């Protein structure tokens, strides 16, 4: 198997892993912590609503990062030697996933967790690079 084929395989596996990770998390964990809401809001006697919300956001953030790495692996494999175009593509993917993560954390925590600010800064800096 060529290096390019291995990178594409690794990228596809990373994307599939993200899909399975989020799906199983929703089915096995978060459905039990949710009451009429997209974002889980029931922590029982153990977790506060705020803790459950950031746990949910962080869980899916891992999936977004996995997808981004999968896309990056596939794009590196497809690079035709144009390093500048590859760099632009990679920074755009990173920027998009960081912005997506920022929106996820902002929405899940209703802006109360500062992680969305840092993720937004990373997204903007990557985009402008």
- In this predicted model, what pLDDT tens digit does every residue of 79-126 receive, in sequence order? 777 777 887 888 888 889 999 999 999 999 899 989 899 999 989 988
Q: What is the arithmetic mean of pLDDT over 34-40?
A: 89
Distance, in Å, from the CA atom of 34 to the CA atom of 48, rounded to the nearest integer, reads 13
Rounded CA separation 111/53 (Å)? 11
Radius of gyration of the chain from its Cα atoms, rounded to whole angstroms: 17
- Note the pTM of the prediction, 2 decimals: 0.71
């Amino acid at each position: 198997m060529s290096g390019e084929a291995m990178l594409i395989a690794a990228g596809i596996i990373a994307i599939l892993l993200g899909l399975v990770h989020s799906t199983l998390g929703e089915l096995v964990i978060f459905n039990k912590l949710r009451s009429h809401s997209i974002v889980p809001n029931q922590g029982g006697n153990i977790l506060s609503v705020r803790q459950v919300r950031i746990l949910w956001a962080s869980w899916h953030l891992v999936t977004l990062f996995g997808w981004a790495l999968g896309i990056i692996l596939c794009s590196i494999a497809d690079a035709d030697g144009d390093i500048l175009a590859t760099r632009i593509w990679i920074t755009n993917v990173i920027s998009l996933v960081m912005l997506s993560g920022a929106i996820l954390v902002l929405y899940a925590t209703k802006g109360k967790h500062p992680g969305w600010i840092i993720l937004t800064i990373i997204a903007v800096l990557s985009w402008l690079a």
